A and B are shown apart, each in its own frame.
Chain A
Amino acid sequence: SYGLTQPPSVSVSPGQTASITCSGDKLGDKYACWYQQKPGQSPVMVIYQDSKRPSGIPERFSGSNSGNTATLTISGTQAMDEADYYCQAWDSGTVVFGGGTKLTVL
């Protein structure tokens, strides 16, 4: 079955750029999206179709997808961005989630 791999944790200083990767076989041939989840809350989509931002998502969130890796980039990271982030793709009749990355803003 298809799998997506994310680093368990990423740390970033306030104001710096955070990058979270998501790896999967030929992931660049599929659409990748990203969700943010804060403790006790439902997930929120922050990127869809590799690089598009839903309405209401700040411009500091961006995405790319090529080869075997999709990347979520948060520019000028703020304390409010501290959360778990999940990548997701559709493959052969299944929705696949990555294991999630805990972003810590130190």
Chain B
Amino acid sequence: EVQLLESGGALVQPGGSLRLSCAASGFTFSNYAMTWVRQAPGKGLEWVSAISGGGGRTYYADSVKGRFTISGDNSKNTLYLQMNSLRAEDTAVYYCAKDQATGTPRYGMDVWGQGTTVTVSS
């Protein structure tokens, strides 16, 4: 069964850092583009970052560029999101998702995790 399991969400103070993890199983992780999407309370989906299959290329939303870093460990079948300089507006449920494409994430996300909650507050 294809599965994604996020972890690492927590309550963190403004300016702090956090690393989210997404453990993948049931498919060849290195063959697919992967994406982080977040959803603030009561709001819509917001794309955060993506990485091409194999990790050669990374992409970021303007709202997180320079603060967040996406990476993947093919040996552990795990996707990461390092989040630095966190702000209150980063508060959201963070989902990782598998794209159907192998390169750029252009075909849509067919598998989603259950999400992990990040709260940025003092």
A90 with B105: CB separation less than 8 A: yes
A97 with B44: CB separation less than 8 A: yes
The answer to the question of B115 belonging to the interface, with a C-beta cut-off of 8 Å to chain A, is yes
What string of 1s and 0s marks CB contacts (under 8 Å) between B85-115 and chain A?
0000000000101001000111111101111
Q: State how many residues of chain B have any CB contact under 8 Å with chain A.
A: 24
The answer to the question of B118 belonging to the interface, with a C-beta cut-off of 8 Å to chain A, is no
A42 with B108: CB separation less than 8 A: no
B47 with A45: CB separation less than 8 A: no
B113 with A42: CB separation less than 8 A: yes
Contacts A1-B62, A86-B45: A31 and B107 contacting too (C-beta < 8 A)? yes
A97 with B112: CB separation less than 8 A: no
Q: Which of A35, A37, A90 has the most CB of B within 10 A?
A: A90
Partner of A48, one of B44, B100, B113, B114: B100
Q: Which of A35, A42, A44, A96 has the most CB of B within 10 A?
A: A42
Partner of A100, one of B37, B44, B47, B109: B44
B106 with A90: CB separation less than 8 A: yes
Contacts A96-B47, A97-B44, A97-B46: A44 and B112 contacting too (C-beta < 8 A)? yes
Contacts A1-B62, A42-B113, A43-B95: A94 and B108 contacting too (C-beta < 8 A)? no
Listed by A's residue number, 19 A-B pairs whose Cβ atoms lie within 8 Å are A31-B107, A35-B45, A35-B109, A42-B112, A42-B115, A43-B109, A43-B112, A88-B45, A90-B104, A90-B106, A90-B107, A93-B104, A95-B47, A95-B59, A95-B105, A97-B37, A97-B44, A97-B47, A99-B44
Chain B interface (Cβ within 8 Å of chain A)?
A: 35, 37, 44-47, 50, 59, 61-62, 95, 97, 100, 104-110, 112-115
